[in-house]
Each structure stands twice: as structure tokens, then as C-alpha cells.
């Protein structure tokens, strides 16, 4: 069984009802049926609670918890503690699956026993102008930026049991920290080269100022200080600045080949190209 966890807060007030409805339809018409859908609401005050409960009556919501929380990762951790599935999927209210076999294909790979998690491609819709771009999952960039998004992932629940839940001290980047913890623990990912998810930018995860604070700190905590990097150098790794000056440290101080290869890959210009614009005549919807 898959446990789908969706955090939510004031969906109706923020005019996100249409995307929410698409998300629910896309999850509950998946070809892989055994699933539970857990909602963690942050005590919405705009009618969201009543709106979601209509789906609960329909049988599409397995657990609904509504209470104040301390942030996104506090909400996700509440959902993880309730989850009974073998696999975990985190779905935002603004995102939805564009492939009815998303779960089926991901589960097939995980059931082969070679992978601990899967990840795939996603379409990114700009909230400012509605343009679409394609974001690729790429583990090679993992040690200097987020390699793939949780919306495209399925993760074995045993990984959370082993490594722990999300760090609630971060506002925006704890999912990145968890990905690094998985890779440092030598957990194996499987990239599925298919577009599974449509997502929107402009949310909390798009806060670049906050990213520049949290991501370098995570890099420093996870592997930077172990190999003699300063916090400022970890900031330069994330931003791509002053990388030539860092090259000797990367080559001679970082003994972990997986980390070193990822940082060397950051010198490749295309490694920092996050998305590829999709021309109008090639859009899939």
C-alpha cells in the first residue's frame, strides 16, 4: 500500500481549488489502487476543512487531521507517523499527476528490490506568466542542489524508520536534507525518465533568499565540516560562485567519490540548467 501525505492550509482563500481538484482526481484514478490518503491541515479558517471532508465522505480521504502546526515539516511528520503504507508519497495541493500509471510504474521498480526510492520528471508551471518548463531528476547534482522533487518520488517507509523524520528546524529545505541523508547512507534511487507530475512554482520552496540560508547550512552539516569546508565555502558550492578557487579542496580533501563527482559535475554548465523551456507546439496539455 502507498501512503499519500498531503499538507494543506487555506486552499480556498488562496484560489487553489481548481488545482486541488485536479490533484485529487489524479491520485484517486491511479491504476495502482491500494492507497491511503492522509491530510494534515494547519487549522484552515476559509472552509478548507469542510471542503476536504466532502472527499472524506467520498472515501478518498483516509485520515484528516486539522490543528495548528509549526510549519510544513511538522505537518509532514504528523502524516508520516500516521502512515501505514509500505511506500510514502508526498503530494502538494497545487500539484497533480499527469500519468495514470505513476504509482504502478514506480512500485514495479521498487518491488524488484534494487531501489529504495524512485524519482521522475515534472512539468513546472510559472505562476507569474503560465509558461511551462521541464524539470529533470538528476542525482549527479545532489551534493550542490536539490536533485529531484518529492512530488515525483516514492520512498520506502523503512527509510524514514531508519533515518528519521524531516528536520523541523528548517522552513524550506528539510526534504533536501533528507535526500542527502539517504544518499550518504548509500540508499539507492531509480530514475524513471517519464513525466509524472505537473507542479507550480512560486510557493515556499521558491523562496530564493531562504534557500540561500538553509541549503548551504545543510551542505555544511551533512558533509562540509567533515571534509574541512567552511560554511561560506558551502554557500559558494550552492551558488556556484568562486568554484575554481574551491577546486583544490574538492579534489584533495573530499574523500567520498560520490560527493566529489557531484561537485565536479557542478563545473559542467548544463548541470546548473534546472529546466528546459517547452515550446507551445510541444506542450502535452
Predicted structure pTM score = 0.91
**Which pLDDT score, from 0 to 100, does residue 276 have?**
46
Residue 128 confidence (pLDDT): 78
Given pLDDT bands bounded at 50, 70 and 90, which one contains residue 285?
very low
- Structure confidence at residue 205 as a pLDDT band (50, 70, 90): low
CATH fold of the domain at 2-208: Spore Coat Polysaccharide Biosynthesis Protein SpsA; Chain A (3.90.550)
The domain segmentation of the chain, as residue ranges, is: 2-208
Q: What is the mean pLDDT of residues 175-184?
A: 97
Lowest-pLDDT range of 135-144, 200-209, 255-264: 200-209
Give pLDDT, residue 282: 39
Whether 50 shows a pLDDT value over 70: the answer reads: yes
Segment 77-105 shows an average pLDDT of: 97
What does the DSSP assignment read for the chain? -EEEEEEES-TTTTT-HHHHHHHHHHHHT-S---EEEEEEE---SSSHHHHHHHHHHTT--SEEEE---SSHHHHHHHHHHH--SSEEEE--TT-EES-TTHHHHHHHHHHTTS-SEEEEEEEEE-TTT--EEEE---GGGTTTS--S-GGG-EEEHHHHHHH-S--TT-SS-HHHHHHHHHHHTT--EEEEEEEEEEEESSSGGG-HHHHHHHHHHHHIIIIIGGGT--HHHHHHHHHTTTHHHHHHHHHHH---HHHHHHHHHTTSGGGG--EEE--GGG---
Amino acid at each position: 500500500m502507498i501512503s499519500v501525505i498531503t499538507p494543506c492550509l487555506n486552499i480556498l482563500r488562496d484560489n487553489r481549488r481548481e488545482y486541488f481538484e485536479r490533484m485529487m482526481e489524479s491520485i484517486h484514478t491511479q491504476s495502482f489502487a491500494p492507497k491511503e490518503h492522509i491530510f494534515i491541515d494547519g487549522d484552515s479558517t476559509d472552509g478548507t476543512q469542510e471542503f476536504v471532508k466532502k472527499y472524506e465522505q467520498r472515501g478518498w480521504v483516509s485520515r484528516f487531521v486539522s490543528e495548528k502546526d509549526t510549519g510544513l515539516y511538522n505537518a509532514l511528520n504528523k502524516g508520516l507517523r500516521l502512515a501505514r503504507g509500505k511506500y510514502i508519497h508526498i503530494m502538494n495541493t497545487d500539484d497533480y499527476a499527469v500519468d495514470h500509471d505513476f504509482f504502478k510504474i514506480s512500485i514495479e521498480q521498487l518491488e524488484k528490490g534494487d531501489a529504495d526510492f524512485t524519482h521522475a520528471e515534472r512539468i513546472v508551471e510559472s505562476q507569474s506568466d503560465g509558461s511551462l518548463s521541464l524539470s529533470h531528476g538528476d542525482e549527479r547534482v545532489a551534493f550542490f542542489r536539490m536533485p529531484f522533487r518529492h512530488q515525483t518520488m516514492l520512498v520506502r517507509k523503512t527509510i524514514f524508520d531508519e533515518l528519521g523524520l524531516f528536520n523541523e528546524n528548517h522552513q524550506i529545505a528539510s526534504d533536501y536534507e533528507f535526500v542527502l541523508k539517504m544518499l550518504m547512507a548509500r540508499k539507492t534511487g531509480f530514475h524513471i525518465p517519464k513525466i509524472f507530475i505537473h507542479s507550480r512554482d512560486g510557493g515556499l520552496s521558491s523562496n530564493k533568499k531562504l534557500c540561500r540560508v538553509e541549503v548551504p547550512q545543510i551542505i555544511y552539516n551533512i558533509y562540509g565540516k567533515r571534509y574541512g569546508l567552511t560554511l561560506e565555502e558551502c554557500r559558494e558550492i550552492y551558488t556556484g560562485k568562486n568554484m575554481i578557487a574551491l577546486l583544490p579542496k574538492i579534489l584533495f580533501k573530499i574523500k567520498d567519490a560520490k560527493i566529489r563527482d557531484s561537485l565536479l559535475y557542478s563545473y559542467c554548465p548544463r548541470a546548473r540548467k534546472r529546466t528546459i523551456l517547452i515550446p507551445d507546439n510541444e506542450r502535452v496539455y
